[in-house]
């Protein structure tokens, strides 16, 4: 048996809190560091069904990517979704820890897992860089082992992520060798990827005018969806936690979650 505190310590090594963006809310969000933990559920989102599963299957802790409390919480009304979810977690005695943008930026985190899944050569993958730091940042840039026709690369992304569908924005006739990426919602970095000389950029949550900008900049954009670009980290994170704790605790990766978007 371990305590929440032990998981928090290990997560601090895997995804140091200092890597989180200023606006983020990572860490232990529900429960106490002293809570005892025998079973941990690792998942992308804490949904109502996640809380129900945790209660039914005797999980004492959830480690999630998206923070269950994100913006300021001003009420705990159990007739509304947020309060209902938090109430269920508290009643079931389930603690919740979140590693969000710190897990995006961390080595071996969401973006590195994404880079591997879409076929970038791991030896070429480096942080995207930002104004403050070139060594740690949300996105990644890397190269394919061989140049690919843009739509063939898009197909490879779709297959690698097991995405039901992807959206492709053509930036012209050029093939793809250098690729920028940012898991989740990364359309804001399309320009940076273009200026860094990326042939293509992979992310989720791309909007119409982002696509327009990409086409004008001459960079292919592949919108593989917020869910599909992030879900692969769940299994990897569960494995890393299992390596750390051995048989002291049981760790389950949630493989039941599905994208909220369905393709009709
Ligand atoms: Zn996300």
pLDDT at 134 over 50: no
What percentage of residues in the chain have a pLDDT greater than 70?
97
Q: Report, as an integer, the average pLDDT of 191-217.
A: 97
- The Cβ-side half-sphere exposure at 189, using a 13 Å CA radius, reads 29
For residue 256, give the nearest of 43, 17, 21, 96 by alpha carbon.
43
Tell me, yes or no, whether 146 lies in a domain: yes
- Ligand 1 center from residue 224 Cα (angstroms): 13
Q: Please give the distance, rounded to the nearest whole angstrom, from the Cα atom of residue 230 to the centre of ligand 1.
A: 6
Give the pLDDT of residue 132.
54
Q: At what angle do helices 48-56 and 81-92 cross, to 10 degrees?
A: 10
Q: Final residue of a domain: which of 102, 117, 149? A: 102
Residue 193 confidence (pLDDT) above 80? yes
Q: Examine the domain organization and report whether 207 and 120 are in the same domain.
A: yes
Residues within 5 Å of ion ligand 1 by Cβ?
184, 230
Nearest alpha carbon to residue 118 among 183, 195, 68, 55: 183
Same domain, 218 and 119: yes
Is pLDDT above 60 for 192? yes
Domain assignment of residue 156, given as a range: 107-229
pLDDT tens digit string along 4-28? 999 999 999 999 999 999 999 999 9
- Are 119 and 93 part of one and the same domain? no
Residue 173 CA to ligand 1 center (angstroms) comes to 31
The answer to whether residues 14 and 106 touch, using CB atoms and an 8 Å cutoff, is yes
- Whether 189 shows a pLDDT value over 80: the answer reads yes
122 shares a domain with 216:
yes
Whole-number Å distance, alpha carbon 226 to ligand 1 midpoint, is: 6
Q: Give the Å distance between the CA of 183 and the centre of ligand 1.
A: 7
Angle (nearest 5°) at CA 258 between 253 and 261: 155
Q: Mean pLDDT throughout 106-121?
A: 97
pLDDT score at 36: 98
- Compute, in angstroms, the gap from residue 1 CA to the centroid of ligand 1: 31
Separation of CA 102 and ligand 1 centre (Å) = 12
């Amino acid at each position: 048996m371990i305590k929440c505190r032990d998981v928090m310590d290990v997560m601090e090594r895997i995804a140091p809190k200092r890597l989180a963006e200023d606006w983020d809310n990572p860490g232990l969000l529900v429960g106490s560091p002293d809570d005892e933990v025998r079973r941990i559920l690792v998942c992308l989102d804490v949904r109502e069904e996640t809380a129900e599963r945790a209660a039914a299957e005797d999980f004492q802790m959830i480690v999630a990517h998206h923070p269950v409390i994100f913006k300021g919480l001003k009420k705990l009304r159990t007739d509304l979704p947020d309060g209902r979810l938090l109430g269920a977690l508290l009643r079931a005695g389930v603690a919740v820890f979140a590693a969000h943008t710190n897990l995006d930026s961390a080595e071996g985190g969401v973006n590195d897992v994404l880079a591997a899944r879409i076929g970038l050569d791991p030896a070429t993958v480096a942080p995207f860089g930002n104004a403050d730091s070139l060594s740690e940042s949300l996105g990644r840039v890397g190269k394919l082992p061989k140049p690919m026709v843009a739509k063939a690369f898009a197909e490879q992304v779709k297959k690698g992520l097991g995405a039901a569908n992807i959206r492709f924005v053509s930036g012209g006739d050029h093939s793809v060798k250098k690729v920028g990426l940012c898991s989740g919602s990364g359309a804001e970095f399309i320009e940076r990827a273009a200026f860094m000389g990326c042939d293509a950029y992979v992310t989720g949550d791309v909007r119409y005018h982002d696509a327009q900008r990409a086409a004008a900049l001459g960079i292919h954009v592949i919108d593989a969806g917020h869910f599909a670009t992030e879900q692969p980290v769940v299994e990897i994170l569960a494995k890393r936690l299992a390596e750390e704790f051995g048989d002291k605790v049981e760790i389950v990766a949630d493989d039941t979650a599905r994208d909220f978007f369905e393709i009709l």
